Amino acid sequence: MAGTRSLLLLPGDGIGPEVMRQVRRYIDWMARKRGIEFTVEEGLVGGAAIDAQGVPLTDATLEKAKAADAVLFGAVGGPKWDGLGFDMRPEAGLLRLRKELDLFANLRPAKVFDALVDASSLKPDIVRGLDVMIVRELTGGIYFGEPRGIEDLGNGQRRGVNTQVYTTAEIHRVARIAFELARKRGNKVCSVEKGNVMESGLLWRQEVTALHRAEYGDVELSHMLADACSMQLVRNPGQFDVIVTDNLFGDMLSDEAAMLTGSIGMLPSASLGAPDADGKRRALYEPVHGSAPDIAGRDMANPIAMLLSLGMALRWSFDLHTEADMLEQAVQNVLRTGMRTSDIMQPGMARCSTSVMADTILRELDKLAA
Amino acid sequence: MAGTRSLLLLPGDGIGPEVMRQVRRYIDWMARKRGIEFTVEEGLVGGAAIDAQGVPLTDATLEKAKAADAVLFGAVGGPKWDGLGFDMRPEAGLLRLRKELDLFANLRPAKVFDALVDASSLKPDIVRGLDVMIVRELTGGIYFGEPRGIEDLGNGQRRGVNTQVYTTAEIHRVARIAFELARKRGNKVCSVEKGNVMESGLLWRQEVTALHRAEYGDVELSHMLADACSMQLVRNPGQFDVIVTDNLFGDMLSDEAAMLTGSIGMLPSASLGAPDADGKRRALYEPVHGSAPDIAGRDMANPIAMLLSLGMALRWSFDLHTEADMLEQAVQNVLRTGMRTSDIMQPGMARCSTSVMADTILRELDKLAA
Ligand SMILES: [Mg+2]
Ligand SMILES: [Mg+2]
């Protein structure tokens, strides 16, 4: 891995390009101040690719994504492309990347920065210090299973069907990621399903248990029903370290957990694939927020989720933990000064632009590196 | 419907009998003070039925349930019956009732009493006045669909399958209940699915929309994706009036919404079936809390959820809205005095027993009826 580190940047649409610009600045900073070099390429995705290249993701860009050590993705979509068919929507660019890179594990941290504890709709005592990682299976389950479809039964009656399917291999590979993550964090995994009423959930529980017994006995494993988990995230989210769950439950629970923090403009995510012969996983990193076309181009967007997505890439794709820590610390320190972009503005704080927020984070990094 | 009003009480196990005893007292009170008479029968269910009759629900009790205007159900289960097989578990009694009475709509109110606003893990400003009704489809969807099961693929690999199925008729009948409920409340229905990735969800959205256009145009209808709903319940639950959704999403969202209130000991629920020739629906009412075997027989349980379950029965099965309102008002007033059972105890309040709580509510009813 040493020697070359390659990144493909796909800024996308809306606020994507302006937050990605701040990522470039941190990459430059690492080269200048830390002697850490990246080979950076950039490509089009989403509406930007539709406009320039006729499709939301070209084969050439896909090949670049496959060749890169990590992909950084901004955001896609906007009213300009709303009328297009399913395969020509900007979102199809992201779906194609996930599918072709076989990114089966979605990592969704829900972390509360001390300075933003009041942004949550939950009481400060409940969410202070919150740091949960949800690992969501991303390429299987009911969103992809066959048979599926809507059938006409006659007499004005129709029937809609979807199929939830999981195999041992699919469960093991995502559970493995959860256990490995837990080892670098609080060493606890909570596996979530509905094994009391779904056989696919029962299989999930049994296979996670078997894998745990065989290879991860040092990690504390618990099991929880998905409805109980949706309750416990509200009641006492601090009890969780890593949660691993299927595509559908992960979809619901990761969004619920994200909202506990009160500030989606702060949250990064990662999607990981299988390790190659060198143990290196395909990976795509992106902010949880969308393209926010209403504020695009106005230097108003919060660049932090995008910067922290780079932070996740530094950590998981490049083992650059010091640089990831520094970035998170810099963000923390700047928030503590009271500087806020509009999306996280609070009474008594100072409202700032995208570029001022990024400038300040870079100056803070200078201090931390000094 | 006038003339006879019949109720079957099934207290069940654990704290079930002691909270049901308080229900009897309110029934007696209505006869004495309001001239409203009920024919009341009582039966065994759950562990109590297993011990006395060998099964968690006898055919004779089931027939009584079918004949009654409404069933009031306490709670079932306890460590004594933990080792029994699937069909002989106490819970099987409840499942049989739901199935045989075809109770396809589960009504789960999430309501915050002013006096308990601090019990929530959410900020008081977010949950004050909260009054959401979740209507969950209860007899269809992925918990019941075929094919289902776990298949051995050889080589240590297995495959778990479940099937989500909904028909037009199933969607219409539950949506109808949601629209009719909304008309008596805030007149707003939010229909929740994942139509963006599931055909069964797309059918759900289309059929709810068609029914709305044909018969309920006066009700405000909106649609939301299930993951967005799990976020919005945390961010701003006050935006919702009635939510209608399928069995699985309803399972997750009703529990999440219940936890927003911070006090599950306060929450009733109803399960409704199809209307008969007289327009009367089969109905079962029960508290959301369980049988709490650890505190059973100690006069410690909170009787309010059970009493409010009777309140729901008065409202939905007997059109006794005044008596339902009075009961809710009495509960509200008693909470305002600072009286609390252990489960909702807060600093500065007065801890009381099950019977004292019920005594006080009855005295308050006397005042309200005076
Ligand atoms: Mg989601
Ligand atoms: Mg549930």
Domain identity same for A324 and A217: no
Torsion angle, CA of B190/A259/A133/A327, rounded to 10 degrees? 150
Q: How far, in Å, is the centroid of ligand 1 from the Cα of A50? A: 25
User: From the CA of B245, how many Å to the nearest CA of chain A?
Assistant: 14
Would B226 be classed as within a structural domain? yes
Quick: pLDDT tens for A234-257: 999 999 999 999 999 999 999 999
pLDDT band at A280 (very low <50, low <70, confident <90, very high): confident
**A122 touches B at CB < 8 Å:** yes
Look at residue B188 in the predicted model and tell me its pLDDT: 98
Contact B161 A199 (CB under 8 A): yes
Look at residue B139 in the predicted model and tell me its pLDDT: 94
Domain containing residue A292: CATH number: 3.40.718.10
Look at residue A277 in the predicted model and tell me its pLDDT: 86
Domain identity same for A153 and A245: yes
* Out of A143, A163, A230, closest to residue B230 by CB: A230
Q: How far, in Å, is the centroid of ligand 2 from the Cα of A202? A: 16
Sheet holding B188-193, edge to edge: B39-42, B6-12, B70-75, B281-287, B268-275, B105-111, B131-137, B242-245, B188-193, B220-225
- CA gap A179, A306 in Å, rounded: 26
Would A118 be classed as within a structural domain? no
Question: Per-residue pLDDT for A1 more than 50?
Answer: no
Contact B142 A198 (CB under 8 A): yes
Q: Work out how many domains chain A is built from and give that number.
A: 2
Look at residue A31 in the predicted model and tell me its pLDDT: 96
Percent of chain A whose predicted confidence (pLDDT) is above 90: 92
Quick: pLDDT tens for B165-178: 999 999 999 999 99
Which residues 206-235 of chain B have a CB within 8 Å of chain A? 207, 226-228, 230-235
Contacts of B258 in chain A (CB under 8 A): 231
Domain identity same for B146 and B256: yes
Domain identity same for B139 and B228: yes
**B194 touches A at CB < 8 Å:** yes
Q: How far, in Å, is the centroid of ligand 1 from the Cα of B194? A: 10
The three-class DSSP label of residue A143 is helix
Would A271 be classed as within a structural domain? yes
Look at residue A82 in the predicted model and tell me its pLDDT: 85
Helix axes B199-215, B168-183, angle to 10 degrees: 50
Q: What is the mean pLDDT of residues A273-290?
A: 92
Q: How far, in Å, is the centroid of ligand 1 from the Cα of A370? A: 40
Quick: pLDDT tens for A66-89: 999 999 999 999 999 988 776 788
- CA gap A155, A86 in Å, rounded: 29
Annotation marks residue A251 as catalytic: yes
Would B116 be classed as within a structural domain? no
* Residue tagged 């369980």 (tokens): B290
- CA gap B318, A318 in Å, rounded: 67
Look at residue A3 in the predicted model and tell me its pLDDT: 60
Contact B121 A121 (CB under 8 A): no
Largest CA distance in chain B: 75
Look at residue B83 in the predicted model and tell me its pLDDT: 80
Q: Which of A33, A64, A131, A143 is catalytic?
A: A143
| Domain that residue B126 falls in | 121-261
Domain boundary residue, one of B261, B284, B318 = B261
**B315 annotated as belonging to a binding site for a ligand:** no
Look at residue B163 in the predicted model and tell me its pLDDT: 98
Would B187 be classed as within a structural domain? yes
Question: Per-residue pLDDT for B208 more than 90?
Answer: yes
State the SS3 of chain B.
CCCCCEEEEEEECCCHHHHHHHHHHHHHHHHHHHCCCCEEEECCCCHHHHHHHCCCCCHHHHHHHHHCCEEEEEECCCHHHCCCCHHHCCHHHHHHHHHHCCCCEEEEEEECCHHHHHHCCECHHHHCCCEEEEEEECCCHHHCEEEEEEEEEECCEEEEEEEEEEEHHHHHHHHHHHHHHHHCCCCEEEEEECCCCCHHHHHHHHHHHHHHHHHCCCCEEEEEEHHHHHHHHHHCHHHCCEEEECHHHHHHHHHHHHHHHCCHHHCEEEEEEEECCCCCEEEEEEECCCCCHHHCCCCCCCCHHHHHHHHHHHHHCCCCHHHHHHHHHHHHHHHHCCEECHHHCCCCCEECCHHHHHHHHHHHHHHHHC
Contacts of B236 in chain A (CB under 8 A): 121
**B170 touches A at CB < 8 Å:** no
Domain boundary residue, one of B237, B261, B285 = B261
Contact B159 A166 (CB under 8 A): yes
Residue of B nearest to A150 (CA): B199
Contact B203 A159 (CB under 8 A): yes
Question: Per-residue pLDDT for A213 more than 80?
Answer: yes
Contacts of B210 in chain A (CB under 8 A): none
Contacts of A236 in chain B (CB under 8 A): 121
Domain identity same for B298 and B317: yes
Would B114 be classed as within a structural domain? no
Q: Which of A51, A227, A319, A366 is catalytic?
A: A227
Domain identity same for B187 and B62: no
Quick: pLDDT tens for B47-79: 999 999 999 999 999 999 999 999 999 999 999
Domain identity same for B210 and B286: no
Residue of A nearest to B159 (CA): A167
**A248 touches B at CB < 8 Å:** yes
Question: Per-residue pLDDT for A34 more than 80?
Answer: yes
Question: Per-residue pLDDT for A143 more than 80?
Answer: yes
φ, ψ of residue A104 to 5 degrees: the values are -95, -10
* Out of B167, B201, B235, closest to residue A157 by CB: B167
Q: What is the mean pLDDT of residues B103-123?
A: 96
* Out of A143, A156, A234, closest to residue B234 by CB: A234
Would A32 be classed as within a structural domain? yes
Domain identity same for A65 and A181: no
**B255 touches A at CB < 8 Å:** yes
Annotation marks residue B227 as catalytic: yes
Question: Per-residue pLDDT for B304 more than 70?
Answer: yes
Q: Which helix (H) or strand (E) holds A63?
A: helix A59-67
Which numbered ligand comes closest to the C-alpha of B252?
2
pLDDT band at B3 (very low <50, low <70, confident <90, very high): low
Domain boundary residue, one of B261, B291, B320 = B261
Would B243 be classed as within a structural domain? yes
Annotation marks residue B251 as catalytic: yes
Contacts of B126 in chain A (CB under 8 A): 121
Question: Per-residue pLDDT for B1 more than 80?
Answer: no
Choice between B87 and A250, residue whose per-residue pLDDT is larger: A250
Look at residue B4 in the predicted model and tell me its pLDDT: 86
Domain identity same for B167 and B245: yes
Q: How far, in Å, is the centroid of ligand 2 from the Cα of B247? A: 9
Quick: pLDDT tens for A44-65: 999 999 999 999 999 999 999 9
Q: Which of A255, A280, A325, A359 is catalytic?
A: A255
Contacts of B204 in chain A (CB under 8 A): 160
Domain identity same for A229 and A335: no
Largest CA distance in chain A: 75
Look at residue B42 in the predicted model and tell me its pLDDT: 98
Whole-number average pLDDT of chain A: 95
Q: Which of B33, B143, B280, B359 is catalytic?
A: B143
User: From the CA of A46, how many Å to the nearest CA of chain B?
Assistant: 18
Q: What is the mean pLDDT of residues B344-350?
A: 94
Domain identity same for B127 and B252: yes
Question: Per-residue pLDDT for B186 more than 70?
Answer: yes
Question: Per-residue pLDDT for B85 more than 80?
Answer: no
Annotation marks residue A152 as catalytic: no
Domain identity same for A145 and A242: yes
Look at residue A239 in the predicted model and tell me its pLDDT: 98
Residue of B nearest to A147 (CA): B163
pLDDT band at B278 (very low <50, low <70, confident <90, very high): confident
Question: Per-residue pLDDT for B44 more than 50?
Answer: yes
The three-class DSSP label of residue A290 is coil
Contacts of B253 in chain A (CB under 8 A): 230
Q: Which of B102, B255, B325, B359 is catalytic?
A: B255
